[in-house]
Amino acid sequence: MATPTVSSRLKRRFIVASAESALLQRVRAATPPGWEAEETLDIGAIGGFEEILQYRFVLLDLEIVGDRDPVELVAELRSQLMLNIPIFCFGGDAALRDAARLARADRFFDRDEIEVRLAQFCDQFGWGG
């Protein structure tokens, strides 16, 4: 496996885990110029520790993530891959949020906040390239 390059580490990109096409369209429309959104439900498809670490944050849809349990996705990032990449969750009821919180997801927001929050996250994590 090749070591990530400096230019690769400086790319402004984030991961979106959702199976809802309307939410993905909203994220695409709200993504600022110069940023890339990697849409996936399979974190392992992105690669291993080194590849995923190059992403600035994860947007996780707690309601519609295909056949994946969103809490398992958080556990995969935190426990299996040992990554501390920020995980921002949208939607979900109180019980699902509590379970994701126990799996060590970072922040929780309502679904209608995604555009505003995405702009804030991109501004906050826009260091580098």
Q: How, if at all, do strands 12-17 and 58-61 pair? A: parallel
Q: What percent of the chain has pLDDT over 90?
A: 77
pLDDT score for 10: 81
pLDDT of 6 over the 80 cut:
no
Q: How many of the other CB atoms lie within 10 Å of CB of 116?
A: 11
What homologous superfamily is domain 6-124 in, according to CATH?
A: Response regulator (3.40.50.2300)
Residue 66: per-residue pLDDT: 72
Q: With left for phi above 0 and alpha for psi between -120 and 50, is residue 128 left, alpha or beta?
A: left
> For residue 8, what are its two tokens?
């690769």
pLDDT at 67: 81
Please provide the average confidence, as pLDDT, over all residues in the chain.
Answer: 91
53-111 pLDDT, tens per residue?
999 999 999 987 778 889 999 999 999 999 999 999 999 999 999 999 999 999 999 99
- 126 forms beta bridges with none
Q: What's the pTM?
A: 0.91
